[in-house]
Structure 1
Amino acid sequence: MKTIFKFAVAAAAVAAAFGASAEGYPEKGKTITIVVPFTAGGPTDRVARDLAEALRKPLNGATIVIDNTAGAGSSIGMAKVARAAPDGYTLLLNHIGMSTVPGLYRKLPFNVEKDFEYLGIINDVPMTLVGKPTLPANNYKELAGWIEANKGKINLANAGIGSASHLCGLLFQSALKTEMTPVPYKGAAPAIADLMGNQVDLLCDQTTNTTQQIAGKKVKAYAVTTPKRLATPELKDLPTLQEQGLKGFEVTIWHGLYAPKGTPAAVIKTVNDALKVALKDPTFVKNEEALGAVIANDDRLTPEGHKKFVISEINKWGPIIKAAGAYAD
């Protein structure tokens, strides 16, 4: 009985101490690490670095660093965060891969629904369908004809298994009921570099990675993947795939913030509150809008709404990945 009592007292003391530290989060002089499960220089990395700057002030001037832990469609970085101490000092910023990894990989060392705390969606990023500069098609109608005439000969680049461009490419092929040869790269930058160099034919990638190339006419732009045209000056004249005949085609890449399961409620609230402030930071908003991204402003900004949304995305992408046989293992 005494042993049980001592254990209970000790447990209560630990809980109280941990609660107190959670209320003082983030501690002065302690660094917060945001793990980005992709290489530096890519679109998700850019969002993370801009967000880190915007988060510093609402998190009491905390030092925030980015840790690029890339590989296996973002699952390596995800596993790193799932194993981290649940104290709020290791966070994860991931894109739509959070919902597609369960379908792409049969064996994972974590469970997306059970091993993370959901801190809020950050933004929605449209996709663009672009082609190499020497492609003979000058609009989507001509592109569709070119694709039909060159079945079995077309190379479709992507930034790696599980990347946004990989998923958009799968959906595009499914919509056209045709197959293209996938050319995976280790990141978005080398993929679009080879597209500009006429080494591959097509790429469907985020506006965060293609806007400058489209504006500079370094690639041929055919469409955006949103229901309506974008307001971004560089892309406002680019038609949607839907208005050009590919009905029902819509892909938007989103980014969200996560913590390891078991992170104290006080820390979750602190980070969520800081995120809501950061998403209104004028510099962050300006940077995102310049790239065609739309800042989140709905119930997905709550931990509950965020998790509900990710689960719905898992249910959406699972069948598409299965139908394409796009397993990574």
Structure 2
Amino acid sequence: MKKLLLATALSTLAGAAFAEYPEKPITIVVPFAAGGPTDKVARDLGEALRTKINQVIVIENVGGAGGTLGASKVSKAAPDGYTLLLHHIGMATSPALYRNLPFKTLEDFEYLGLINEVPMTVVGRPTLPANNFAELMKWLEANKGKVNLANAGLGAASHLCGLLFQQSVKIDMTTVPYKGTAPAMNDLLGGQVDIMCDQTTNTSGQIESGKIKAFAVTTTKRLTTPTLAKLPTLDESGMKGFNVSIWHGLYAPKGTPKAALDKINTALKAALKDPEFIKREEALGAVVVTDNRVNGADHKKFVEAEINKWGPVIKAAGQYAD
């Protein structure tokens, strides 16, 4: 009986301690360099969250090792609600990509909710002879073994989409990894590489300005933004079932008190309904999540399903990192 009373008292004190949460700035760790697509999502979300949770939101970029350094830092951070992680699909692909992953994806984090889903686009250098997807396929067939496929590094969104694209078209290409999205795009613009499969957050502006060629989107439905609405889907172009979106989610270290998690999740849900945030995401071709995956439990179920989806793809390609 005394133990029960003590446990109740401690629980009450813990709840009281977080009643005023947050009392200081909250740091959102982005496991990639500043200026990239995930950093853009984090900064837009941080601005929306700031007004919902009434506290300063600090964005900290901890890049390296395909996002695993930043994620590892958060997994080991104090579980007090003041250090969060905003990560993309790498949360689900890291278990297959890295043999010595310094954290356990489904065990070392509290899941707060999914933020958005970002379609991918198949794009090419401006001097590529092809002008539509059918012409691209003919060009790829005619240049087997000579095509350079760029990506932003092992585990990056462009790497994952590129793997699935190669498997679908059954054409071997030379994969050219870069240290980030910006240098990969720069070489595509300059014609040093031929094609890339990358997020709309990174390609929309270049497509709109006519600096690169766009051939298709990776969702099963066409996009509605003016820049991308005319692009066919890979599914309708003959790759039945091809569906890749790069999502972003929010996480806290395992053991973060429920009172803090509830406040963050409530603020997150409000931020995802913020008109300015929605406007910014839609301008990039991203779709803000509004379904049950904004809840922690459903977010975690979704990530587990994504782990099961991407594991076989990565293992079949045989591309790993220590």
Which bin holds the TM-score, normalised by the shorter protein?
over 0.9
Match for residue 55 of structure 1? 49
The one-letter code matched in structure 2 to 1:22 is F
Matches within 5 A, 1:184-195: 184-195=177-188
Structure 2 Cα separation of the partners of residues 317 and 43 of structure 1? 21
Rounded to whole Å, the distance in 2 between the matches of 1:291 and 1:141 is 26
The Cα of 1:323 is off from its aligned counterpart by: 0.4
Counterpart pick for 2:36 among 21, 42, 46: 42
Alignment match of 1:207 (pick from 200, 212, 231): 200
Which residue in the other structure is 2:18 paired with?
22
Q: Distance in 1 between matches of 2:133 and 2:156?
A: 24
The one of 197, 211, 229 equivalent to 1:218 is 211
- 1:319 is displaced (CA, Å) by 0.5
- Residues 88-127 of structure 1: matches in 2 within 5 Å? 88-127=81-120
Equivalent residue number for residue 238 of structure 1: 231
Partner SS state of residue 57, structure 1:
helix
1:228-281 Cα shifts (integer Å, max 9, x gaps): 110101111111111111222110110000000001111111111100000111
Distance in 2 between the 1:225 and 1:152 partners? Answer: 23
1:247 and 2:225 aligned: no
Name the residue aligned to 2:150.
157
Partner letter of residue 23 of structure 1? A
**CA deviation profile, 1:63-92 (whole Å, cap 9, x unmatched):** 111111011111111100000000110000
Q: Measure the CA separation in 2 of the matches of 1:204 and 1:281.
A: 30
Question: How big is the alpha-carbon RMSD for the aligned residues of Structure 1 and Structure 2?
Answer: 1.7
Output aligned runs, 1:176-191, within 5 Å.
176-191=169-184
Higher mean C-alpha deviation, range 172-181 or range 119-128: 172-181
User: In structure 2, what is the Cα distance between the partners aligned to 1:19 and 1:199?
Assistant: 57
In the aligned structure 2, how far is the partner of 1:7 from the partner of 1:154? 68
- Which residue of structure 1 aligns with residue 265 of structure 2? 272
Letter in 2 for 1:48: A
- 63-72 or 44-53, which deviates more: 63-72
Give the gaps of 5 or more residues in structure 2.
Answer: none
Return the offset for 1:178.
Answer: 2.2
Range with greater deviation from structure 2 (11-20 or 174-183): 11-20
| Secondary structure in 1 matching 2:86 | strand
CA distance in 2, matches of 1:6, 1:182: 64
How far did 1:23 drift? Answer: 2.1
Residue deviations 1:152-177 (CA, integer Å, cap 9, x gap): 11111111111100000000001012
CA offsets 1:205-238 (integer angstroms, 9 cap, x no match): 0000000000001001000001111010111111
TM-score where L is the length of structure 2: 0.96
Q: 1:69 & 1:17 partners in 2: Cα distance?
A: 34
Deviations 1:112-155, CA, capped at 9 Å, x for gaps: 00000000000010000000001111111111111111111111
Q: Which amino acid aligns with 1:56?
A: R
The reply to whether residue 148 of structure 1 matches residue 169 of structure 2 is: no
The Cα shift of 1:306 comes to 0.1
**Which letter maps to 2:15?**
G
Q: Which runs of 5+ in 1 are unaligned?
A: none
3-state SS of paired residue (1:47): helix
One-letter amino acid of the structure 2 residue matched with residue 177 of structure 1: K
Tell which deviates more after alignment, 16-25 or 300-309.
16-25
